[in-house]
Amino acid sequence: MRILSGIQPSGALHLGNYYGMMRRALMLQNEGEAVYFIADYHALTTVHDAKALRENVWHVAAAFLACGLDPRRSLLFRQSAVPEVHELAWLLSIVTPVGLLERCHSYKDKIARGIQASHGLFAYPVLMAADILLYQADRVPVGKDQKQHIEVARDLAMKFNHIFGEVFRVPEPDIQETVAVVPGLDGQKMSKSYRNTIELFCSAKATEKKIMAIKTDSTPVEAPKPIEGSLLIAFYRLVATADELQEWIASMQRGGIGYGEYKRQLAAKLNQALEPIRERYLYYENHRDEVWDILKEGGVRARGLAKETLERAREVTGIS
Ligand code: AQP
């Protein structure tokens, strides 16, 4: 089984990226051949500063390694190390109905948030389908926000196979329902571009400061706290066992403890969970070239896989 996932180097990684996708994707290293890439062509739809983009690429690669990616078993590379992805995106665009792209909510959300409605942003799902199909992925761990894009990839694979002949495996999304959408500090989806994140790699103090600043209602200390839609519970769920979570919720329902105390407990628990990966990230900050070397080697290996698929796609379309 081949597992594939990617992240855009569009800013500092956050709890949503880790608990929504990375943690699961890295666990799957034990179940098959894993391929992880840094989607720098995609990030260009929002990042227009070359220096920042390069720095973000390094950051995402170091984050993957710090979170447990084993480069001896799994591939890690930059999307741009495999330019073949653009040729495949073109071949797929031939079978892509415009209406399918018009229905993609991620495009509509980004425009509603003021991001320029470029062709790149509109065609993003086609390039993403090429990212997945080029490596013949079976399973694609993602957060729920990406489910629709995986459905587009599946549609395009089936349509292309039907029209031209069998070339692509049809991928399955792998979504962890309990953490499918990690909310941001404003209650919307946590997102690099929405300025509502808790970063993975920042100091314990900075995490605590953000947690302590979460807006809560004016329920008195002794009264039971509302559970529905509680951000504190949504974050605690990421790091607690099922029993711990149940006990926390029961305590809130009993009343008698103020929000300040719950926030302190949450910050301590989060920092404890993140400490090991933050320490490993520090190691890579002191060994920056190791990260670039791993990316370079991964790119060469990924390109070999990509060429095999592209050759078949060229053959069935009559391009070769
Ligand atoms: N809040 C989230 N909850 C669950 N999963 C999430 N993911 C992102 N945010 C959440 C998952 O992380 C993976 C990598 O995402 P991405 O960086 O490629 O793109 P994204 O989904 O658009 O993430 P952001 O932070 O919202 O980036 P920007 O602001 O640049 O668009 C994906 O699997 C995603 O589902």
110 is known as an active-site residue: yes
Q: Give the model's confidence band at 68: pLDDT under 50 very low, under 70 low, under 90 confident, else very high.
A: very high
Reduced to 3 states (helix: H, G, I; strand: E, B; else coil), residue 140 is strand
Which 8-state DSSP code applies to residue 112? H
Q: Give the model's confidence band at 226: pLDDT under 50 very low, under 70 low, under 90 confident, else very high.
A: very high
Ligand 1 neighbourhood includes 137 CB (under 6 angstroms): no
Ligand 1 center to 255 CA (angstroms): 35
Whole-number pLDDT of residue 176 = 87
145-164 pLDDT, tens digit each: 999 999 999 999 999 999 99
Whole-number pLDDT of residue 225 = 96
Q: Give the model's confidence band at 15: pLDDT under 50 very low, under 70 low, under 90 confident, else very high.
A: very high
175-208 pLDDT, tens digit each: 988 778 999 999 999 998 888 999 999 999 999 9
pLDDT of 241 > 90? The answer is yes
Residue range 47-62: average pLDDT? 98
Residue range 89-107: average pLDDT? 96
Reduced to 3 states (helix: H, G, I; strand: E, B; else coil), residue 147 is helix
Reduced to 3 states (helix: H, G, I; strand: E, B; else coil), residue 180 is coil
Ligand 1 neighbourhood includes 79 CB (under 6 angstroms): no
pLDDT of 43 > 90? The answer is yes
26-38 pLDDT, tens digit each: 999 999 999 999 9
192 is known as an active-site residue: yes
Catalytically annotated residue among 51, 108, 192, 205: 192
Ligand 1 neighbourhood includes 189 CB (under 6 angstroms): yes
What span, in angstroms and rounded, lies between the C-alpha atoms of 220 and 160? 60
| The two three-digit tokens of residue 136, written as one number | 């013949």
Burial of 6 (0-12, 13-18, 19+ CB in 10 A): buried
Closest-lying ligand 1 atom to the alpha carbon of residue 110: 31
261-315 pLDDT, tens digit each: 999 999 999 999 999 999 999 999 999 999 999 999 999 999 999 999 999 999 9
Q: Give the model's confidence band at 125: pLDDT under 50 very low, under 70 low, under 90 confident, else very high.
A: very high
Ligand 1 neighbourhood includes 7 CB (under 6 angstroms): yes
Q: Could you give the percent of the chain with pLDDT greater than 90? A: 93
Closest-lying ligand 1 atom to the alpha carbon of residue 180: 4
Ligand 1 neighbourhood includes 17 CB (under 6 angstroms): yes
Burial 269-278 (b: 16+ CB within 10 A, else e): bbbeebeebb
Closest CA to 120 of 128, 171, 274, 58: 128
Whole-number pLDDT of residue 113 = 84
Whole-number pLDDT of residue 168 = 98
189 is known as an active-site residue: yes
To the nearest whole number, what is the mean pLDDT of the chain?
96
The DSSP element (H or E) to which 135 belongs, if any, is: none
What span, in angstroms and rounded, lies between the C-alpha atoms of 162 and 122? 25
Ligand 1 neighbourhood includes 8 CB (under 6 angstroms): yes
Q: Compute the chain's Rg from CA coordinates.
A: 21
Residues in the chain, how many?
Answer: 320
**Which residue, judged by its Cα, is nearest atom 14 of ligand 1?**
7
* pTM, to two decimals: 0.93
| The two three-digit tokens of residue 233, written as one number | 């519970």
